[in-house]
Amino acid sequence: MVYLVRRTRVKMMHLFSTSILLLGLVAGAIASGSWTYTNLSAWNLLANTKCNGKIQSPIAIVDSEAQTNATLGTFTKNHFIPNPISNTVINNGHSLQVNVGGGYMINDRKLLPGVYWPAQFHFHWALQGSRSGGSEHTLNGKQYFAEMHIVHNNNNTKNNQLNEKNGIAVLGFFIQADAISNNTAFDKLLHLAKKVKYTGESAIVNTPLPVSDFLPKDLTMFYRYSGSLTTPLCNEVVVWSVFKTPISISNSQKQEWQSILYYNNTETGQQYLIGDNFRPTQNLNGRIVTKPGNKSPDFNQQSKIKFLLITMIPIATLLF
């Protein structure tokens, strides 16, 4: 596969075309570099921050505690077609981000509460030698090596996604390094990542990256809850769908990933590897996590009385 790439170093605020203008807003303070993962408490001190709110993300998901919701539909890879018209790969100093121009729209109320179009996808991962994983959400107590977030904007919020309920929909996918052979989609991505090793670099890709190529085969089970962006300013406008089946990459791809991207430490002027770029899980604060599935039959009061009479009569007969 040949990639046609134009390499540039530009200010982040000028990277986005009109069609994906809100990417800079969704990224929050990514462009300004005014926050870090080494001083999470400082997020609460940022101007206009929502990071100390009550419905923050990520969260610790426990499958047995998630309530089934029969009204939730099922995602398939067909929902991610057609492919993007264009992609721009960016090192934003906090993550590897791929901006999406054109392509699919999700317009199914059983899946999402509005019409959503993709804006970008990015990743959170663990540094080599880390004692923990790098995923933001956890599932049944497990933190995975990495997590992929596909960020969608609600088409019905009139360019006010960061201030409207359900203004943004994020699809989250765990990533684990258990594949015997390389994941082809991630081979392409890592090839492009080498073009944007340092903060502020971007690579315009003329051969688009189909979003569906990155996804696991099984999309049937996911966990739905209301939350926030996981980076400042942590706006509480996100409808989350975190998928149970992880994406699989090889261990060699994991090691390569952990050694490519750098950020600039403004205090020391030194370049450091990007990684461990995850926010810890936040309190649920009474929120309900749901998942697709049929609810178990629930007896109404009359049925319960009938059931008791049927079971008690034979017992009473034996006693007398």
pLDDT over 90 at 219, yes or no: yes
What is the C-alpha separation between 230 and 75, in angstroms, rounded? 23
- Which pLDDT score is estimated for 253? 98
Question: What does the pLDDT look like over 59-110, one tens digit per residue?
Answer: 999 999 999 999 999 999 999 999 999 999 999 999 999 999 999 999 999 9
pLDDT over 60 at 8, yes or no: no
110 within 8 A of 72, measured Cβ to Cβ: yes
- For the segment 278-286, the average pLDDT, to the nearest whole number, is 98
- Which pLDDT score is estimated for 210? 96
- For the segment 31-51, the average pLDDT, to the nearest whole number, is 85
Phi-psi domain of 275 (left: phi exceeds 0; alpha: psi -120 through 50; beta: other): left
Give the residue numbers marked as catalytic: 94
pLDDT over 50 at 257, yes or no: yes
Report how far apart the first and last C-alpha atoms of the chain are (Å, whole number).
Answer: 84
**Domain definitions of the chain by residue range:** 5-319
Q: Choose among 76, 78, 79, 81: nearest CA to 103.
A: 81
- Which pLDDT score is estimated for 141? 98
pLDDT over 90 at 313, yes or no: no
What is the C-alpha separation between 64 and 177, in angstroms, rounded? 25
76 within 8 A of 128, measured Cβ to Cβ: no
- Which pLDDT score is estimated for 295? 63
Which pLDDT band holds residue 268 (cuts at 50, 70, 90)?
A: confident
| Fold of the 5-319 domain | Carbonic Anhydrase II (3.10.200)
Q: What angle do CA 100, 101, 107 make, to 5 degrees?
A: 85
Per the prediction, the chain carries an average pLDDT of 86
Question: What does the pLDDT look like over 153-172, one tens digit per residue?
Answer: 999 887 899 999 999 999 99
- Which pLDDT score is estimated for 159? 83
pLDDT over 90 at 7, yes or no: no
